[in-house]
Amino acid sequence: MQPTLTSVLHASATLALLLPLSGSQPAPVAAVVPAARPVLPVQGAQPDPSVVAQFGLLNDSKLQSYIDSKGMQMGKISDRPADVKGFTIVDSPIINAFATPDGHVYFTRGIMAHFNNEAQFSGVLGHEIGHITARHGQKQQTRSTIANGALILGSILSKRVASIAQPASQVVGLGLLKYGRDDENESDKLGVKYSSKIGYDPASMADFFLTLQRTEQSSGAATIPTFLSSHPNSADRYTNVKKLAQQAEQQAGRQLAVNRDQYLRMIEGLPYGDNPREGYVENSVFYHPDLKFQFPVPQGWKSQNSPSQFQMAEPSGKAVIVLLPAGTGTLDAAAQSLAQQLKLQNAQASRTTINGFPAAVIQGDQVGQDQQTGQQGITARTLTFIIQDGQNLYAFVGLTSPAAFETYAPQFQRTAQGYRRLTDAAKLNRQPERVRIKTAKAGQTLASALAANGIPSKRYEELAILNGMKTTDKMTAGMLFKVVGR
């Protein structure tokens, strides 16, 4: 079994913290397909393979070159230049930026879409470099020990099923870098210092806090921007940063840059929101346009996708089905390898055919130490289907407790046996939304400008937040603003 789907599927990603899934409607999924390998940073250290495996890279050489250039420029004037190693944009719609204790800074495409000028980007870049140069990560020993996808699984499963499902999940995540107020205040000061040193108005960092707060308020706690979860906010941070910025500008003795239009033109065409090319759930069916397959998701189950797996979980956490890549060899070799990885005993395997695809079925018990009782014994029962689709092998691993196996085995079976070729042109051709930059006419409000560009009224507030504006704001002739569309 491959460690990630990135060799079979397109790498795509988000940030250190995965948000819990919300609602009974399965969340749109994020990744699972082959494509051109995204360009790696040309400057600085390479990104952590575990971040790439879990979240993937944004394939945008122009934006990657931009953050390399600004990051290296800022790193050189920081307090510990040798500690600042590299910069990467990950392919996630979540609004987030984070620094890892190894000195690497990551931005999601979601946060890049929500910046409205270079100064906002520079302020957040400075803040994250501040976490590195102040060595907050090392102090807290925050490098993750959360292996085998426990972070992802734990967000949608009960502790018991999360523990039994871990051997099926090969994603290694990053720990949640949750800093206290002192660390945050220190990084805010350093962010102001560093961004103003390379010529940008640091007051924009405070303005971006307002965008984050509006996103939180409009979407509810279940979809809080990850940046707010990993960077606890406080009522006085905005005011403090504004004061620090004013002092920095006085010390600079000149007008510091904002560069709104330059930034907006640079993000023209940036993917926005979930990317359906990498898989999506609609009406309890998972579609993968680029890999050209589909299968049913059990009604009401929660789902979550990553470059290395697609998970489906029974709402109360009593059972899970995980779709994993199972290599490119033979069915027999894949079945043997997976049985070993799952540490199955009394495994029974047989061959079958699923909608014309050769397949293998494995049933067996996981034996180990029960985390609740500490006793050795059967910790989970699994029904696994391995499907051969051309050169690729996919495994549907169904896991539940021995007592619940008879209840959930039929659902495991229906999901795997529903695997079929995707031929619906409408599903195959689904494209992601992208950021489009438009030019305002004299006298338009943001709302009227959005209406003139075909944006439905139910999305006005979402687009107002994306633009860092209010719907009633008057726009000047020639002013640039963002819309989204396919």
Domain ranges of the chain: 38-142+177-272, 276-423, 433-485
Question: Do the Cβ atoms of 55 and 333 come closer than 8 Å?
Answer: no
Distance CA 324, CA 312 (A): 12
Task: Quickly count: other Cβ atoms within 10 Å of residue 429's Cβ.
Answer: 10
Model pLDDT for residues 198-222, shown as the tens digit of each residue: 999 998 988 888 888 888 777 543 3
Give the residues of the chain that fall short of pLDDT 50: 1-43, 141-176, 220-224
Task: Tell me the whole-structure pTM to 2 decimals.
Answer: 0.69
Distance CA 382, CA 392 (A): 22
Query: How much is the pLDDT for 273?
Result: 86
Query: How much is the pLDDT for 180?
Result: 74
Distance CA 114, CA 242 (A): 20
Q: What is the CATH number of domain 276-423?
A: 3.40.1000.10
CA angle 48, 50, 54 (to 5 degrees): 125
- In sequence order, the 6+-apart residues with CB closer than 8 A to the CB of 116 are 211, 260, 263, 264, 467, 468
Provide the terminal-to-terminal Cα distance of the chain, rounded to the nearest Å: 35
Question: Do the Cβ atoms of 96 and 111 come closer than 8 Å?
Answer: yes
Query: How much is the pLDDT for 134?
Result: 84
The CA-atom distances, in angstroms, between 173 and each of 52, 104, 228, 424 are: 10, 15, 19, 35
Report CA torsion sign: 294, 300, 301, 306.
positive
Reduced to 3 states (helix: H, G, I; strand: E, B; else coil), residue 317 is coil
Query: How much is the pLDDT for 155?
Result: 37
Query: How much is the pLDDT for 26?
Result: 29
Query: How much is the pLDDT for 305?
Result: 78
